[in-house]
Amino acid sequence: MGDAEIVPVAPHETADALKQVFARLDEVERRQQVETLLAGEITHDGLWAARRDGRLVGAVYGQIQPGRTALAWPPRLAPGERPETAGRLLDVLDAQLSQCGVALTTMLLERIDPADHEVLSAGGYSFLTELLYLVAGEDDFPASEPNNPLEFEPYADANHARLVDMVKATYADTRDCPALNDARSIDDVLLGYRHTGVFAPERWRIVRHAGADVGCLIVTDHPAHASCELIYMGITAPSRGQGWGKQIARYAQWLAARAGRPRLVLAVDSQNGPALAMYHEVGFHAWDRRNVYVKRSLGPRTPDI
């Protein structure tokens, strides 16, 4: 039995390929996942199939996103297909994503399957961390704008450079996925944030104290899920240790309340003990978790298909 043919997925074959990508989910979850992706914008550059004698025997998908990043799912094979086909699918996907300018590809896995780990590791992916997803409900939101010594300046084109500087400054000695600090430019990171949920500049803030910039807060809205998301918050290293993280988180809750959303969600590195303790103090609790694998692009290359 020779190698399966690795080919791009034609638009009319999209649904079948995605069903193969999510073959390990139960029927209800698989249908929901496929319908969600089909309802959005499928990036066909990232959807590849393995075919043998015209039959679909494997598929992989990487969803290209703004900010030179992609969210991918591990390759999935039909029963009886040769294991090495998974590695070939992943290699072709990664090469295509690189050709499309993707600098960082991320996979979020509910559990670490030994076979997945082997394929991903061989393909150059590394385990980054376990992400914890936290949520706070409206019962924990402040009833009015928090009164604290910090000022929250709304984002605008005029202060874009200052926000870039603040995000970069807050990366220093961070405990939240520090390995990704230099994976992309700050402008790429902010472009990705802008295209997450519904962007509104009044929910992006530069945090100031006594006339100086000391941090930042970025919140977005997800109307379809009746929630806001705290995408990022950070404090510069010299300004830490004063309890300001808690005050920024409370302000984020107030922004969610202003938007009329009953929930505020976020993701945090499970190794970031201080942040977890702070979030717990202001009413957040864990509701899900994912294992994160990442791969940085090594530059454009030609796939072997």
Indicate whether 100 and 145 sit together in one domain.
Answer: no
* Reported pTM: 0.92
Output the CA–CA distances (angstroms, integers) from residue 177 to 152, 166, 192, 293, in the order listed: 25, 17, 17, 11
Residues 256 and 171 in one domain: yes
The confidence score (pLDDT) of residue 1 equals 65
CA dist list (Å): 291 to 106, 125, 159, 226: 10, 12, 35, 25
Q: State the Cα–Cα distance between residues 203 and 74, nearest whole angstrom.
A: 34
- 56: domain CATH number is 3.40.630.30
Print the domain residue range for 108: 5-124
DSSP letters spanning the chain: --PPEEEEPPGGGHHHHHHHHTTTS-HHHHHHHHHHHHHS---GGGEEEEEETTEEEEEEEEEEETTTEEEEEEEEE-TT--THHHHHHHHHHHHHHHHTT--EEEEEESS--HHHHHHHHHTT-EEEEEEEEEEEEGGGS-SS----S-EEEEP-GGGHHHHHHHHHHHTTT--SSGGGTTSS-HHHHHHHHHTSSB--GGGEEEEEETTEEEEEEEEEEEGGGTEEEEEEEEE-GGG-SSSHHHHHHHHHHHHHHHTT-SEEEEEEETT-HHHHHHHHHTT-EEEEEEEEEEEE---------
Tell me the two tokens of residue 46: 């990232």
> Is 256 within the bounds of a domain?
yes
Please report whether residue 254 resides in a domain: yes
Per-residue tens of pLDDT for the chain, all 305 residues: 689 999 999 999 999 999 999 999 999 999 999 999 998 888 888 999 999 999 999 999 999 999 999 999 999 999 999 999 999 999 999 999 999 999 999 999 999 999 999 999 999 999 999 999 999 999 999 999 999 899 999 999 999 999 999 999 999 988 888 888 788 999 999 999 999 999 999 999 999 999 999 999 999 999 999 999 999 999 999 999 999 999 999 999 999 999 999 999 999 999 999 999 999 999 999 999 999 999 998 554 444 44
Is 199 part of a structural domain of the chain?
Answer: yes
Q: Please report the pLDDT score of residue 94 as a whole number.
A: 96
Alpha carbon 12 to chain centroid distance? 28
List Cβ neighbours of 269 (8 Å cut-off, separation of 6 or more). Answer: 129, 130, 131, 132, 175, 176, 177, 275
Token reading at 296:
């940085």
| Residue 178: predicted pLDDT | 80
Q: Are residues 66 and 138 in the same domain?
A: no
Per the domain annotation, does 84 fall within a domain?
yes
- Tell whether 152 and 278 lie within a shared domain: yes
> For residue 217, how many other CB atoms are within 10 A of its CB?
24
Question: Same structural domain for residues 158 and 102?
Answer: no
Are residues 106 and 25 both part of a single domain?
A: yes
Q: Identify whether the C-beta of residue 157 lies closer than 8 Å to the C-beta of residue 35.
A: no
Distance CA 176, CA 181 (A): 9
Q: Is residue 235 a contact partner of residue 244, using CB atoms and an 8 Å limit?
A: yes
Domain count, the chain: 2
Residues 170 and 272 in one domain: yes
Q: Say if residue 72 is in the same domain as residue 178.
A: no
d(CA 109, CA 116): 9
Q: How many Å apart are CA 275 and CA 267, to the nearest integer?
A: 11
